[in-house]
Amino acid sequence: MYQTTIKKPVELVGIGLHKGSPVKLRLEPLEDNSGIIFYRSDVDVAIPLIPQNVVDTKMATVIGKDGFVISTIEHILSAVYAYGIDNLKIIVDADEVPVMDGSSASFCMLLEEAGIKELYSPKKIMRIKKDVIVQEGDKYVKLSPSPDLKYDFRIKFPHPVIQKQEYILKFTKESYKEEISRARTFGFLHEVQYLRSKGLALGGSLENAIVLDEKKVLNPEGLRFTDEFVRHKILDAIGDMSLIGMNFVGNYEAMAGSHDLNHKLTLKLLKNADNFEVIELVDEKTKELEKAYA
C-alpha cells in the first residue's frame, strides 16, 4: 500500500465561524513524505500539521506560526484522515477554515471530487503498543493497543435532549462517511450570545450548527441522528488525532473528551517511542492493517 494525495486541485468558498466572512479553501496535491501542510495565502505563511504548531484548543483546534493562525481545522482534517490521505496542501485566505454545515460532509464531497492518487513511497501507519491516557477529573481520553481501529466516545450533558450518549465507531472509510461525517457541531444559545458579545461566532447560525435552548433543539429540521452530539465528538476526535502525523491502529476511548485533552494525548503518545511503532505497509504481514484505509 502506498502513500496518497489528491488527483487534482479543488476549491470551495464558505463562511468562517468566528468572523462570519467568506473564506476560500483550496486543496492541492503534494509529493511523497510531504505530510499535511496548511497555507495562508493572504499572508504567505505555511504551517505544517504537527503537534508543536498547536497554539489553542479552547473552542477548536488552532495551529499557528510566526504569529499567524488557522482556526477550526478539525473538521476538514477529520475527512482527510478518514480518506487516508497522507500528503496534502490546504490553502485558506483567512485565519479559519470555513465551517460549511458544521459537519465534514462538504469536505468529503470535495475529496470525492478531487479523487485519490497513489504515490511511490510505502504508506506509514502507527500501531499503538501501550495504553496512553490523559485524565482530568472524571474526563479522560485514552489510546490502547488493538488489531483494528475503533472510536468509543461517551458524553454527559444536563440537557433533556442530550443527557448520556455513547457511540462506538468501528472505523472504515465507509463507516465514517455513513455514520459520522454528517454529524454537526452543536452549541447552546446562551453560549452563542456570549461569544457574539466578544466578537466571536459571528458566522454561527442554524445553517451550520445545532443550537439548543434550555429545553429543545432550535433547528427547524431537527437532528440528523438522535445521537448526533456524540457522533460529532467522534468526528472532532478523528480530526484532532490526525496531529499524530499518520493513520493509526488502536482503540481510542473518551469520556467527555475535548480538543484540549486530545492534543495532550497526542503529545503524551509521541513523547515516548515505547508507546508505538511505525510500520510501512509493504508486505503480506501488513494486509490486515490496510483494510480501514482502502
CB 47 within 8 A of CB 60: no
Amino acid letter, residue 77: L
159 is catalytic: no
Catalytic residue among 18, 75, 232, 259: 259
Residues with active-site annotation: 259
